[in-house]
């Protein structure tokens, strides 16, 4: 796949999403960038802002198998992974795959499940495989997890541990719609739900090809150094107990490459890194004041780091365009 083909694919996806989702253009760009980067997304927002609708619309736009799991405190790890059951007719054990064996998995209200159940996603999100009863099963590509979380309701919830948060490439928050977007939402959903008429516009092969194209985007050495400088600056920032890890630096690179493709470029510029830095890094930081007060503070801390770290000269930063 080349840049032109990727833009045709993204245009079709955006057009499909725009039929259902009103506004949220930046959130949609970040979501598509995460898809191209081969990462997973945590959609975190107050109730009723369209988190599940956005995830379901993207899933319907992709010609991939789709599974939705409503996370609850009584959900078991086997409810996600699947089980080996004894078939009395054949006299043998057979494997019954769970919802994780899907191209797109929607983990709705993921923080309502126990840490034990949440941890069942660690292996499949990171390694694209899952081990059940000592046997490892590979997951088909693409494998994209979209989880939703309500940040204001803490009754009956279990905060995601750092290891689980680190598996998400981005945490995206879109917020409330504007006044005009609110009017357009009422107008669009007044008679029927446009999601019901949404059809797939991209197949698994196209998504995998677009992911390979994004991963091959040229990034200059100066920008690689800039990424590491940003990551290291989060570790030295005041009030931070745990800064961004090397995995976070790699996630920032992949997200910037995906965002560059979404913006129609075949090379990464500093603005791509800045655009994805907060969604990629903020949820990975552990502040000294604890998780309850860390979300907004972590985002502001990343913005401060971006203001403080020197940006490479534009000519050097986009040198990859000439080398590609």
pLDDT(290) > 90 = no
Which stretches of 71-134 are assigned E, i.e. beta strand?
82-87, 92-97, 104-108, 129-132
Query: pLDDT confidence of 306, banded at 50, 70, 90?
Result: very high
Considering the chain, what is the average pLDDT of its residues?
87
Task: Quote the pLDDT of residue 315.
Answer: 46
* Predicted pLDDT of residue 163: 83
Residue 318: predicted pLDDT: 53
Which residue intervals of 108-245 are DSSP H helices?
A: 115-118, 122-127, 162-165, 179-188, 204-215, 221-236
129, 138 contact by CB (below 8 A): yes
CA-based nearest residue to 100, from 146, 53, 152, 44: 146
Query: For a pLDDT cut of 90, what percent of the chain falls above it?
Result: 36
Tell me phi and psi for residue 97, to 5 degrees.
-65, 145
Whole-number pLDDT of residue 93? 81
Per-residue model confidence (pLDDT) at position 51:
83
The yes-or-no verdict on residue 201 having pLDDT over 70 is yes
How far apart are alpha carbons 108 and 71 in whole angstroms?
6
Q: Is the pLDDT of residue 293 over 70?
A: no
Selected residue with higher pLDDT from 19 and 86: 19
Which is nearest to 322 in space by CA: 266, 276, 264, 239?
266
- Range among 195-209, 258-272, 289-303 with highest mean pLDDT value: 258-272
Q: What are phi and psi of 151, to 5 degrees?
A: -80, -10
The backbone torsions φ and ψ at residue 112, rounded to the nearest 5 degrees and listed phi first, read -90, -10
Confidence of residue 276 (pLDDT cuts 50, 70, 90): very high
Confidence (pLDDT) at 249: 95
Q: Which two tokens stand for residue 166?
A: 């680190």
């Amino acid at each position: 796949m080349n840049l032109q083909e990727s833009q045709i694919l993204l245009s079709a996806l955006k057009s499909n999403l725009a039929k259902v989702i009103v506004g949220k253009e930046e959130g949609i760009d970040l979501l598509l960038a995460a898809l191209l980067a081969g990462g997973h997304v945590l959609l975190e927002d107050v109730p009723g802002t369209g988190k599940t609708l956005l995830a379901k619309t993207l899933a319907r736009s992709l010609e991939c198998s789709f599974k939705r799991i409503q996370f609850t405190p009584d959900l078991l790890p086997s409810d996600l992974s699947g089980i080996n059951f004894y078939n009395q007719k054949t006299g043998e054990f057979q494997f019954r795959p769970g919802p994780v064996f899907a191209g797109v998995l929607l983990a709705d209200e993921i923080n309502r499940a126990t840490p034990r159940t949440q941890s069942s996603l660690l292996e499949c999100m990171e390694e694209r495989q899952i081990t059940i009863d000592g046997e490892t099963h590979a997951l088909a590509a693409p494998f994209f997890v979209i989880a939703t979380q309500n940040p204001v309701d803490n009754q009956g919830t279990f905060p995601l541990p750092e290891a689980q948060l680190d598996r998400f490439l981005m945490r995206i928050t879109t917020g409330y719609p504007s006044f005009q977007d609110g009017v357009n939402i009422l107008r669009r959903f007044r008679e029927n739900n446009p999601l019901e008429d949404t059809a797939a516009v991209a197949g698994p092969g196209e998504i995998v090809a677009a992911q390979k194209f994004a991963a091959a985007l040229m990034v200059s050495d100066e920008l690689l150094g800039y990424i590491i400088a940003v990551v290291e600056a989060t570790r030295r920032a005041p009030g931070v107990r745990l800064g961004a890890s090397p995995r976070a630096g790699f996630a920032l690179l992949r997200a910037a490459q995906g965002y560059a493709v979404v913006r129609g470029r075949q090379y990464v510029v500093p603005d791509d890194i800045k655009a994805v830095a907060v969604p990629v890094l903020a949820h990975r930081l552990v502040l000294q004041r604890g998780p309850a007060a860390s979300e907004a503070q972590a985002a502001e801390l990343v913005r401060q780091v971006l203001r403080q770290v020197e940006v490479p000269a534009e000519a050097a930063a986009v040198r990859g365009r000439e080398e590609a």
